[in-house]
Structure 1
């Protein structure tokens, strides 16, 4: 079971945290290779360019890559935090435009298969974080692991990145179905990525909602159509994101438009409205999982 001290730390954080409301957005997709990390980082830099204090958590705990994609050198990562070698604040690195990055490990199977105690350790690490943050973006792993569902349940908004491929649509539906039916996440914001036109993006959204409307009660909203753009590939080779390397390219303009929408999304004052509420919601997720395990 989770130590009550974790709950005490989260409660203490409420008293210590500055009054800034933190918007928590999980970026997910079900299938790998849909451009989820690219969307996350472009969104982060676009928001930072607007003067927002942005933090990005690499939620792909076994195949981390956000620091590599930005050409940032991370000397320590979440693996060191969980091993007790340092605090979460010690591993945070600064990226372009002041974006704060929380790097995870790469090529470490154990990090992709955390035990309940390690989950609790990760949550405990967040409860000690006192940085002022306007927007926390979580780049989740591919698939539907426990960490993907935990991060998605704890966030205020879930961005689902989808490509016009049968496997991408199928995997996105499977993720939405799991979160909707088993974890009570009912609102999803869809990003149609690497589409050849806005019309293709709308048609992709229609394909997805054809099955979600029929079998689920989830609320779906198309929030962005990101065009297929050669400049995205070129920017990745430069270890930059397209909004920085090619700010006037079609993909960059679409990313910036998405950022403009994100800042208008309301930040609820109920649990998850502050960064410490994000921690507490994760705690409740862990508590629920343990109770369910007791009855299996």
Structure 2
């Protein structure tokens, strides 16, 4: 058990700092679109710009962020729930000062916690959030009614698709569901593995048009990443492609995308927002919000 005086000291320090991370949920309608690879390299890009970033691998059964970065860790999110290890103690160090919490198998009921355990999770998550500028949740592919609560609590959502018609349709379907639950959700679009600039722009524009026509919803286009062979080479060597070859086409496009995000993202103090991440998460999971 942690010393109570030390815990109080940390809490007071956090309050004085008045800082809380912006939360981003990275989602996709289907697997195999490069969602986790994007999450990792985008986090590195943010870190290189001076931001402190924590990746939270929420793909419980298929978590692979640590594999993509070639880093092994003895502790995962499962240890927090099953062994009572403090959330802060399962944070590991990744490349370029990016921190991460690894996912793990054997915990299929993350979104169906008992109230007491969920309150503990919220309390420790709040402490962690005050140590970072961004927390990026790499969600599992697809969506369930339970995981949607967590996704909709995030400040912003990044939807990853590829130009394939099935991928575009699945991306639209997941956004349609989320908008039906919360029309105010912040959506950002990223198209991965495009053959050329024209294909990337057309895919994103098509999704934007369909969203506006049928859902009256605006989504912010962040950009696209090319189908770069360097990416697969980097994956096979377990090195993020933005580190493996910073001058490759994918890394250059990612840098431009990150700059575009910094200009597009809202700038207000998130800790002062009426419906911040922790508040929404508590409301969703404790049944005080539909």
Fold in common (TM above 0.5): yes
Corresponding residue SS for 2:286: helix
- C-alpha change, 1:130 and 1:54, in structure 2 (3 Å) is closer
Deviation at 1:214, TM superposition (A): 2.2
Deviation at 1:148, TM superposition (A): 3.7
Deviation at 1:114, TM superposition (A): 3.9
Matching residue of 1:145: 144
- C-alpha change, 1:13 and 1:174, in structure 2 (3 Å) is farther
Q: Find the aligned partners of 2:253 and 2:63 in 1 and give their Cα distance.
A: 25
Indicate the larger mover: 193-202 or 183-192.
Answer: 183-192
Matching residue of 1:279: 278
Matched, 1:25 2:24: yes
Q: Deviations over 1:193-251 (max 9, x none)?
A: 10011110111123323432221022112111100000000000111111100100000
Deviation at 1:121, TM superposition (A): 5.0
Q: Find the aligned partners of 2:15 and 2:70 in 1 and give their Cα distance.
A: 33
After the TM superposition, which segments of 4 or more aligned residues of structure 1 sit over 4 Å from their partners? Answer: 12-15, 118-121, 270-274
Matching residue of 1:247: 246
Contact kept? 1:138, 1:151, Cα under 8 Å: no
5+ unaligned residues in a row in structure 2: which ranges?
Answer: 1-7
RMSD: 2.6
Q: Deviations over 1:40-69 (max 9, x none)?
A: 100011111122111111111221111111
Matched, 1:268 2:265: no
Matching residue of 1:111: 108
- C-alpha change, 1:169 and 1:214, in structure 2 (3 Å) is same
Q: Deviations over 1:51-101 (max 9, x none)?
A: 211111111122111111111111111111012430001110000111110
TM-score norm. by structure 2 comes to: 0.86
Contact kept? 2:159, 2:171, Cα under 8 Å: yes
5+ unaligned residues in a row in structure 1: which ranges?
Answer: 1-8
- C-alpha change, 1:90 and 1:51, in structure 2 (3 Å) is same
Contact kept? 1:155, 1:272, Cα under 8 Å: no
Matching residue of 1:4: none
Q: Find the aligned partners of 2:102 and 2:131 in 1 and give their Cα distance.
A: 18
Matching residue of 1:189: 188
Matches within 5 A, 1:1-296: 16=15, 18-106=17-105, 108=106, 110-111=107-108, 114-117=111-114, 120=119, 122-129=121-128, 131-146=130-145, 148-264=147-263, 265-269=265-269, 277-288=276-287
Q: Find the aligned partners of 1:192 and 1:291 in 2 and give their Cα distance.
A: 32
- C-alpha change, 1:159 and 1:218, in structure 2 (3 Å) is same
Contact kept? 2:57, 2:101, Cα under 8 Å: yes
TM-score norm. by structure 1 comes to: 0.85
Deviation at 1:119, TM superposition (A): 5.0
Q: Find the aligned partners of 2:12 and 2:179 in 1 and give their Cα distance.
A: 30
Corresponding residue SS for 1:51: coil
